[in-house]
Amino acid sequence: MVEDDPVISRFISQGLGQMGHETALACCGAEAIAQCDGPPFDAIILDRMLPDTSGIALLDELRRKASFPPVVILSALGSVEDRIEGLDAGADDYLVKPFDMAELAARINAVARRKTGRESDGGLTVGALKLDPASHQAICRDRSTALNRKQYSLLAHMIRQADRLVTRGMLLEHVWGYSFEPATNIVESNMSRLRTKLLEIDCDPIETRRGSGYILRSERCA
């Protein structure tokens, strides 16, 4: 748990301890990075307002690590824009203070159970689908297909956000680096080519939500 308020830290640690969780505490970003260099955690509870960095900046640094656990942001910053920013930055869930301990515990349990979008041995996996960064291949059971750089980046982002809606705007920002809407169907055409590649390995996990975006369904990768 990364939280600089000792009262909140103690409250959460005691509450989760009563539910069978063991909690390590960090009061700033530097402590969190140091602790994450040790044995992997099942989940991270992350405050957005820290004395030495922002939670968003820390989240970005944590994402670069090989063993990046699920993250639940717990913050007093609760506007729609704040929540979108946190989730787009890579958080698995976002809970606003003040909060109910039982709800926090339930959300932690949910993200810790999720086996999707976790880097393992330098790759990304969801169910039987694995993305290999060394060969730029998508692998499902005993079959594989080579992806170009954009298809690889697109699938990697979808795996990290598995079972959650990913909008066209989110893909433009995270995969292409665009902060604007180009007057082309660049997302749709690349997604179509990616899905064709996945069908080569008998894998069809991506669902189109017309007018909304896409969802990679983890159950379709079983």
* H/E segment holding residue 8: helix 6-18
For β-strands 71-75 and 93-96, DSSP reports them as parallel
Question: Is pTM, for the whole model, over 0.85?
Answer: no
Q: pLDDT (tens digit, 9 = 90+) per residue, 148-188?
A: 888 998 999 999 889 889 999 889 888 887 767 776 788 99
CB of 116 closer than 8 Å to CB of 126: yes
The Cα 200–Cα 172 span in angstroms is 25
Q: pLDDT (tens digit, 9 = 90+) per residue, 205-221?
A: 999 998 889 999 998 98
The Cα 176–Cα 99 span in angstroms is 36
Q: Is the pLDDT of residue 119 over 80?
A: no
Q: Is the pLDDT of residue 114 over 60?
A: no
More confident site: 112 or 22:
22
